[in-house]
Amino acid sequence: MRESTIMKIHYGTALGAVVLVAVHVLFRVTMMNYEDSLAYENVLANYKFLPYAIMLELILVLISVHGFNGLRVILLELKQGRTYEKAVTYGCIAAMAGLIAYGSRTILITSMGIT
Amino acid sequence: MKRNENREGIKGMANPGRYGIERFAYWLMRLTGLGLLAFFVGHIYETSKILNGKTAWENMLASTSTTEGHVFLTLVIGMCVYHTANGIRLMLGHSGYGVGKPARPDYPYTPASQNNMHKLCIYASIGLAALAMMYGISVLFGE
């Protein structure tokens, strides 16, 4: 993929994440007291509320893509070379996929009420 | 001279000085980015504790709802706000906004893109981060 396309994805995921994370944080501080919002029953209710669960999944994907692409950029600024660049790129993609899979598992199992 | 003699690697990247506030903004952007990625990975792990039931969740909350935990969260708030505000400045700059018009390079070769507006935006990003941290402290420690 062209680097210019990757940067557009980087900026797009950043803007999307800013909006959704703002909603996520507002849920913690405006719906009720911050401490109460972290109570087990309230967090469980958040996960079981489908629009919120979808939003959490979107945040997970957007931040993972943005974060690991950012890490890739930093590592490529440090050192260059065909093998190194491929290793960094595939390593970041693997880490991103792993984190998305792990986070999705939590969202899916909790929102379906299997806990 | 060997090809890599002048290459500082991580040491060069970790040095925020020498090139003014723009270099400091670059350094802080990468530092906050790495910090936020580490926090995000940790956050995904800690929230997965909900799968182990109420006791595991409450144990996790108890271990993070400490003074140190709140100080760390306050830092995360600051990193998040700075990274966002400075990121928007960079996006606008990369899209050609606020970087000046192309002109003939004349002495003293002041780069049009490194103008006062961008410097002001960097200071504003740091200021916003400080304000957000103060709000975070009031929420986390205020009750």
Contact A106 B51 (CB under 8 A): yes
Instruction: Answer whether B30 touches A (CB < 8 Å).
Output: yes
The answer, for A102 touching chain B at a CB cutoff of 8 Å, is yes
- B42 contact A CB<8A: no
Q: What is the pLDDT of residue B6?
A: 64
**Does the beta carbon of B91 lie under 8 angstroms from any beta carbon of chain A?**
yes
pLDDT computed for residue B49 by the predictor: 92
* Mutation to test the A interface, candidates B4, B34, B48, most A Cβ within 10 Å: B48
**pLDDT at B3 (0 to 100):** 59
The pLDDT tens digits of the residues spanning B24-46 come to 999 999 999 999 999 999 999 99
Cα→Cα distances A68→A15, A53, A89, A94, B38, Å: 16, 22, 9, 10, 11
The tens digit of pLDDT for each residue in A30-53 reads 878 888 888 999 999 999 999 999
Give the pLDDT of residue B4.
Answer: 60
B143 touches chain A (CB under 8 A): yes
Predicted interface score ipTM higher than 0.90: yes
What global pTM score does this model have? 0.90
Residue B65, phi then psi, degrees to nearest 5: -85, 55
Q: Could you tell me which residue, A17 or A114, shows the higher pLDDT?
A: A17
pLDDT digits (tens, 9 = 90+) for B61-83: 988 889 999 999 999 999 999 99
* A90, pLDDT greater than 80: yes
Q: What are phi and psi of B15, to 5 degrees?
A: -90, 110
Q: Which of A7, A11, A76 is the best mutation test for B, with the most CBs of B within 10 A?
A: A11
Q: Buried b vs exposed e over A33-49: b needs ≥16 C-beta within 10 Å?
A: eeeeebbbeebbebbee
Task: Write the burial class of residue A115 (CB in 10 Å: 0-12 exposed, 13-18 middle, 19+ buried).
Answer: middle
Q: How many CA atoms lie within 13 A of B15 on its CB side?
A: 8
Which residue in A19, A32, A35, A40 has the most chain B C-beta atoms within 10 A of its own C-beta, making it the best mutation to test that interface?
A: A40
Question: Which residue among B9, B40, B139 sits closest to A34, beta carbon to beta carbon?
Answer: B139
Going by the DSSP 8-state scheme, the letter that residue A84 receives in this structure is: H
Predicted pLDDT at B2: 60
